[in-house]
Amino acid sequence: MRSTMIDFEKTELRLGLPGAGGGGNEGETSRNSSGKRGFSETVDLKLNLNSNSSDGNQVEDMKQKNIIPASADSAKPPTKAQVVGWPPVRSFRKNILAVQKDTTTTDVNKSGGSHMAFVKVSVDGAPYLRKVDLKIYKSYQQLYDALSKMFSSFTIGNCGSQGLKDFMNESKLIDLLNGSDCVPTYEDKDGDWMLVGDVPWEMFVDSCKRIRIMKGSEAIGLGITL
């Protein structure tokens, strides 16, 4: 019996924006109420199917022959029309992209899931930077040892291994920060400069983008409250 059947019309998905009028017109795109263009108009704008030229019909025929029409299903977002010869990219450049998509993004992402995590390390006053793979260390201590060895020739004041180890001792922290000793800091994924050592090692490795060993007097500017 028809009256007991579910009113399919009401359950059917339509491209209607919030505030669309009820009643029989709810299936139409509510251009008037929201001012936004519906899907079909968007497609027309992109493909210029509503041509202004005098050869209107010809243009439409001509364009449609060369273009695979975008999907007319209004529930999906508008797909890009594929046109032969556009965009003007050489075949060998398309291949590079396909290969890049096939492989995992280990070359592109440094952190998380890849087998290495190279980050740059700078020491204030040193003439050049170094790179370390954080994944080969298991703890902050190992990292400090390695950094000390790397920069042993450029130690400024107490930036040697003792100086960094002292850093781990909170009671000496204030002395360090007030003096010209070194403070290891790092830039995290959000671009913020943080003090090394606050978070668990693994979290540090995942979020660290680069390391900077600052002079203690500068580190005060980080606004670290103790």
Partner 1 sequence: MAYSFPEEVLEYVFAFLSSHKDRNAVSLVCKSWYEIERWCRRRIFIGNCYAVSPQIVIRRFPEVRAVKIKGKPHFADFNLVPEGWGAYVYPWISAMVRSYPWLEEIKLKRMVVTDESLELLSKSFKNFKVLVLSSCEGFTTDGLASIAANCRNLRELDLRECEVEDLSGHWLSHFPDNFTSLVSLNMSCLGSEVSFSALERLVSRCPNLRTLRLNRAVPVEKLPNLLRRAPQLVEFGTGAYSAENQTDIFSNLVEAFSGCKHLKSLSGFWDVDPAYLPAMYYACTGITSLNLSNATVQSPDLVELIIQCPNLKCLWVLDYIEDAGLKALPSYCKDLQELRVFPSDPYGAEPNVSLTEQGLVTVSAGCPKLQSVLYFCRQMSNAALITIARNRPNLIRFRLCIIDPQAPDYLTLEPLDTGFGAIVEHCKELLRLSMSGLLTDRVFEYIGTHAKKLEMLSIAFAGDSDLGLHNVLSGCESLRKLEIMDCPFGDKALLANAAKLETMRSLWMSSCSVRRCPSSNVEVMDERGHPDSRPETCPVEKLYIYRTVAGPRVDKPNFVWTMDEDAVLRLS
> How far apart (Å, rounded) are the C-alpha atoms in residues 195 and 115?
25
Stretch that binds partner 1, among 27-35, 76-84, 138-146, 214-222 (CB under 8 A): 76-84
- Contacting partner 1 (CB under 8 A), which of 6, 75, 84, 226? 84
Which one, 106 or 178, has the nearer CB to partner 1? 106
- Contacting partner 1 (CB under 8 A), which of 36, 46, 76, 138? 46
- Residue 91, helix vs strand vs coil: helix
> Left if phi > 0, otherwise alpha if psi is -120 to 50, otherwise beta: which for 70?
beta
* 192 part of the interface to partner 1, by CB under 8 A: no
- Residue 3, helix vs strand vs coil: helix
* 107 part of the interface to partner 1, by CB under 8 A: yes
Closest C-alpha to 182, from 126, 131, 226, 225: 126
Smallest distance from the beta carbon of 107 to partner 1, in angstroms?
Answer: 6
Smallest distance from the beta carbon of 48 to partner 1, in angstroms?
Answer: 6
> How far apart (Å, rounded) are the C-alpha atoms in residues 128 and 130?
7
Structure tokens of 17?
Answer: 């924006």
- Contacting partner 1 (CB under 8 A), which of 50, 100, 142, 162? 100
* 87 part of the interface to partner 1, by CB under 8 A: yes
> How far apart (Å, rounded) are the C-alpha atoms in residues 157 and 182?
8
> How far apart (Å, rounded) are the C-alpha atoms in residues 149 and 160?
8
Which one, 86 or 169, has the nearer CB to partner 1? 86
* 50 part of the interface to partner 1, by CB under 8 A: no
- Residue 55, helix vs strand vs coil: coil
Smallest distance from the beta carbon of 85 to partner 1, in angstroms?
Answer: 4
Site mask, partner 1, residues 114-143, x = CB under 8 A? -xx-x------------x-x----------
HSE, CB side, 13 Å, CA atoms: give it for residue 186. 23
Closest C-alpha to 218, from 162, 156, 171, 169: 156
**Interface residues with partner 1 (CB under 8 A)?**
45-48, 51-55, 58-59, 62-63, 65-66, 79-94, 96-97, 100, 107-108, 110, 115-116, 118, 131, 133
